[in-house]
Amino acid sequence: MKQYMNFIGGEFVATGKTFENRAPVDNRVLGLVHEAGADEVDAAVRAARNALHGEWGRMTVTRRVELLHAVADEINRRFDDFLQAEMADTGKPHALASHVDIPRGAANFKVFADIVKNVPTESFEMATPDGGQALNYAIRSPVGVIGVVCPWNLPLLLMTWKVGPALACGNTVVVKPSEETPATATLLGEVMNAVGIPPGVYNVVHGFGPDSAGEFLTRHPGVNGITFTGETRTGEAIMAAAAKGVRPVSFELGGKNAGIVFADADFDKAVAGITRSAFENCGQVCLGTERVYVERPIFDRFVAALKEKAEALKPGPSEEAGVSIGPLISQEHRQKVLSYYEKAVREGATVVTGGGVPTMKGALAEGHWVQPTIWTGLPETAAVIREEIFGPCCHIAPFDTEEEAIALANATDYGLATTVWTQNLGRAHRVAKQVEVGICWINSWFLRDLRTAFGGAKASGIGREGGVHSLEFYTELRNVCIKL
Ligand code: NAD
């Protein structure tokens, strides 16, 4: 049986305690994950610290950039290994994993390496009180050992989105992948060794959150900064852990994102866009749309069109031709999503489509499938409109004015993303300026330029990463002042 081991100081490390990794498509056991205890986490943090003081710490930026390019090239050379591992762990369709997860996972190393190579620092000349002069200039230093705690929805992509810039800036990392998706983080260890990244620069510890590797890592005093992607509630626990030693955090958290469709939108493009934003990756995208607001004149037509699209989505295993929707990540998550499906009905929703579990044949019947689901008719106070579900579902409500649409979109504790559909340029700019989110897409969704700032407003996050913004978290500026 496959073993997913920890990767500490350049070596794969087994532990006495294992847990099963199961496939979302049919719940079969894929392998055993070796859970890191406090001792293994401590060893990983020490290995990361030693690497900072070794060859990695002394390496020129040029050499570091070369090595990170080699990491990306090696991921691409082993593209199929990464693809198979990611599809097995998540059950996502081949088209999605091969176009998004793996290529973007590799790109994260190149993009940030190039940014670090090309970004200058500031300098200021100043007059001194004695009539002389001084020169100030800034140096960017790595923060040190970065703890990287990851979710399961885009495992390689979201992990390398943190590891890429952290390493490019000269830090070392200890990664805690989600317990649901241990494979690609482990595989990346092989890549690091193959291209000659010094031992201890990239470490992986497996396990869960509380009283396991996640908590041991975030509480570890040897960790200098923590970058985390996951639920807002988990972020609160990690922030409390990081308070000890006043360590900086960068958080990408949950969302309850709105989609706004104006009557002047290109109708077909808006329907296609919301189909993606509501159902892609079986709704397990932090940027996904679970609240859709549609201008009243096109409301009925829009609901009917989205229903048709949702019903055309074909569930099935990753490699099957024509499959466009995979399962949810786990039985536990399916229970959560189905509990919202039931809650919606109890609260009086009209179920436009879905609301249950599709019939799957053979072994697939054991998988974590749910139907894409659309509701209408609920008040804004309903649980399925207020709380993040993280499933393939959305509620659609009508609105009458631009002001009302903005107010509805903003009436949430979260503030991650919005997708707005309109052909009126002035309106697009007005709405974008008023929605309280980290990213506002106009006539698009999940279109990411890695040079731009990414993060959440309100309860959806702390800080921004992407492009030069990542440098703010992964480096510290030191000002050097020279009296001339
Ligand atoms: P999660 O918060 O349950 O788990 C994320 C990671 O944190 C896992 O590795 C888990 O083991 C670890 N963890 C849990 N409790 C911990 C603790 N007390 N201390 C340390 N580590 C702990 O999230 P998830 O279910 O894996 O992912 C789904 C969530 O992630 C959704 O809320 C989604 O919106 C969010 N998300 C946000 C973004 C973003 O960019 N804003 C991106 C992807 C996912």
CB 203 within 8 A of CB 48: yes
Cβ count near 268 (within 10 Å): 9
The pLDDT assigned to 144 comes to: 98
Nearest CA to ligand 1 atom 12: 209
Task: Evaluate whether the domain defined by 257-449 bears CATH number 3.40.50.720.
Answer: no
The pLDDT assigned to 347 comes to: 97
305 CB near ligand 1 (under 6 Å): no
CB 250 within 8 A of CB 227: yes
User: How far, in Å, is the centroid of ligand 1 from the Cα of 297?
Assistant: 39
149 CB near ligand 1 (under 6 Å): yes
The pLDDT assigned to 4 comes to: 98
290 CB near ligand 1 (under 6 Å): no
Name the active-site residue from 286, 393, 394, 440: 286
Nearest CA to ligand 1 atom 34: 254
User: How far, in Å, is the centroid of ligand 1 from the Cα of 42?
Assistant: 22
Q: Is it true that 2-253+460-483 and 257-449 share their CATH fold?
A: no
Q: Is 380 a catalytic residue?
A: no
Q: What is the CA radius of gyration of the chain?
A: 23
Using most ligand atoms within 8 A of CB, pick from 186, 277, 286 the residue to mutate for ligand 1. Answer: 286
The packing angle between helices 155-168 and 183-195, to 10°, is 40
422 CB near ligand 1 (under 6 Å): no
Burial pattern 374-387, b for ≥16 Cβ within 10 A else e, equals bbbebeeebebbeb
Closest CA to 258 of 460, 33, 48, 1: 460
354 CB near ligand 1 (under 6 Å): no
Burial pattern 441-458, b for ≥16 Cβ within 10 A else e, equals bbbebbeeebeeebbbbb
The structure's pTM equals 0.97
User: How far, in Å, is the centroid of ligand 1 from the Cα of 178?
Assistant: 8
The pLDDT assigned to 427 comes to: 98
Q: For 261, phi and psi rounded to 5 degrees?
A: -120, 115
d(CA 151, CA 232): 12
The structural domains of the chain, with segments of one domain joined by +, span 2-253+460-483, 257-449
User: How far, in Å, is the centroid of ligand 1 from the Cα of 328?
Assistant: 15
User: How far, in Å, is the centroid of ligand 1 from the Cα of 230?
Assistant: 2
User: How far, in Å, is the centroid of ligand 1 from the Cα of 332?
Assistant: 14
209 CB near ligand 1 (under 6 Å): yes
176 CB near ligand 1 (under 6 Å): yes
Name the active-site residue from 180, 252, 290, 465: 252
Dihedral over Cα of 350, 409, 421, 264: its sign: positive
Nearest CA to ligand 1 atom 16: 209
The pLDDT assigned to 363 comes to: 98
Q: Is 169 a catalytic residue?
A: no
CB 374 within 8 A of CB 352: yes
CB 281 within 8 A of CB 93: no
19 CB near ligand 1 (under 6 Å): no
Cα-based distances in Å from 265 to 37, 272, 427:
54, 12, 11
d(CA 119, CA 480): 18
d(CA 84, CA 119): 36
End-to-end CA distance of the chain: 67
CATH number of the 2-253+460-483 domain: 3.40.605.10
171 CB near ligand 1 (under 6 Å): no
255 CB near ligand 1 (under 6 Å): yes
d(CA 54, CA 70): 20
pLDDT in tens, 261-302: 999 999 999 999 999 999 999 999 999 999 999 999 999 999
Please report, as a single letter, which amino acid is at residue 193. Answer: N
Query: Mind listing the pLDDT tens digit of every residue in the chain (484 residues)?
Result: 999 999 999 999 999 999 999 999 999 999 999 999 999 999 999 999 999 999 999 999 999 999 999 999 999 999 999 999 999 999 999 999 999 999 999 999 999 999 999 999 999 999 999 999 999 999 999 999 999 999 999 999 999 999 999 999 999 999 999 999 999 999 999 999 999 999 999 999 999 999 999 999 999 999 999 999 999 999 999 999 999 999 999 999 999 999 999 999 999 999 999 999 999 999 999 999 999 999 999 999 999 999 999 999 999 999 999 999 999 999 999 999 999 999 999 999 999 999 999 999 999 999 999 999 999 999 999 999 999 999 999 999 999 999 999 999 999 999 999 999 999 999 999 999 999 999 999 999 999 999 999 999 999 999 999 999 999 999 999 999 999 9
The pLDDT assigned to 475 comes to: 98
User: How far, in Å, is the centroid of ligand 1 from the Cα of 234?
Assistant: 6
Closest CA to 71 of 200, 188, 199: 188
Cβ count near 276 (within 10 Å): 17
The pLDDT assigned to 30 comes to: 98
